[in-house]
Amino acid sequence: MRSNLNPILLISFALAVNSGGDSFCQSAPSTASRVSPKPLVSHIYTADPSAHVFNGKIYIYPSHDIEANVPQDDDGGHFNMRDYHVLSMGRIGGKVTDHGVALDLKDIPWAGRQLWAPDAAYKNGTYYLYFPVKDKQDVFRLGVATSKSPTGPFKAQPEPIPGSFSIDPAVFTDTDGASYVYFGGIWGGQLQRWHTGQYEPKGSKTDLGKDDQPALSAKVARLSNDMLRFDGPVKDVQIVDNAGKPLLGGDHNRRFFEGGWMHKYKGRYYFSYSTGDTHLLAYATSKSPVGPFTYQGVLMNPVTGWTTHHSIIEFGGKWYIFYHDVELSGKTHLRNVKVRELIRKSDGSIVTITP
């Protein structure tokens, strides 16, 4: 899921890309460009921030990047993370507290390697940490761990979520109390190895279908009341264009790659995601949490570094996007988390950010 390309050169890939939306954002794209915010923490490397508001405070659940001295490859072997830390802040721009290790690889009975981007949720008096990790057969599965505190420590379930696969879980609880988990990522995230319904160990990033066929979709499943398993079948998160036609595999500026996130604004569901090898954060909207979603545009242009991964929350009457770049290290596998305000137009469309 990663590339060996020079991360600095990638900034120029898509600064003008924002085509293909429907009437929801037909006007010429506006761009929000401000001085880049500083990393939230600098004593450790952090990435893939999943932010949530619990009890009036912001908690951030990032990946914890380390220098593991693993050779770089397109499947992301050099992203060999081994634990999770939880960060918190009482206000945007305020002090950020690192609460230390919340879950360690060695404490997950079924895990093999690579603790990638996590997410968290709260329900029934319990906090849940969802995470992707390769099992002992080197297949990505989704796990869940629980705690009575938003900062952990979290205790992992003895087995992965039954029927789970791939990476980047993002949990959304709707106003009716129903919870859903969105997941998936191609290339190193192995989503393309599941297109037949069974894992294909010899599959590679090239097994993505034809450019003129519908693109691979992110996945969504409703969660059970205890938040520990899927409650029903895994479904495609279908993204369509203005005419209602599915985005195609060759449409690298708009199709899903990884890093999905869901939020709701004025009754509309916003599914945002990374386009991966074109390094954009894009979004699509729907009247349903399971879609189909109509592509709307780019919400953030490329950051420095190959990967891009985000979350969106409302706090204090404003909306914010948490994301990462490589300001501290200049290395694509040693990233740092940032936050900035998310601006919307009067019609609900998101103003494109240029980091």
Q: Which of 65, 168, 251, 258 is labelled catalytic? A: 258
From the list 308, 211, 307, the residue with the least C-alpha distance to 4 is 307
Look up residue 124 and give its two tokens: 């029934």
Which among 180, 284, 166 has a CA at the least distance from the CA of 227? 180
Is 327 one of the catalytic residues? no
Q: Is 48 a catalytic site residue?
A: yes
| Angle (nearest 5°) at CA 275 between 273 and 281 | 50
CA nearest to 118, candidates 139, 103, 136: 103
**CA–CA distances in Å: residue 56 to residues 215, 315, 316:** 39, 8, 9
CA distances from 73 to 151, 205, 252, 298, 308 (A): 33, 12, 20, 27, 17
Question: Which positions ≥6 away from 198 have C-beta within 8 Å?
Answer: none
Residue 90 tokens read as 């009482």
**Active-site entry in 48, 251, 325, 327:** 48
Q: What is the C-alpha to C-alpha distance for residues 186 and 184, in angstroms, rounded to an integer?
A: 7
Compute how many other C-beta atoms are within 10 angstroms of the C-beta atom of residue 216. Answer: 21
Cβ atoms of 41 and 110 closer than 8 Å:
no
- Residues 260, 207: Cα–Cα separation, whole Å: 21
DSSP string covering 206-229, please?
A: T-S--TTSBPP-EEEEEBPTTSSS
CA pair distance 101, 85, nearest whole angstrom: 5
Q: Which residues contact 333 (CB under 8 A, 6 or more apart)?
A: 2, 65, 67, 72, 78, 79
Length of the chain as a residue count: 355
Structural Rg of the chain based on CA atoms = 18
- Other C-beta atoms lying within 10 Å of the C-beta of residue 116: 25
Q: Which residues are catalytic?
A: 48, 258
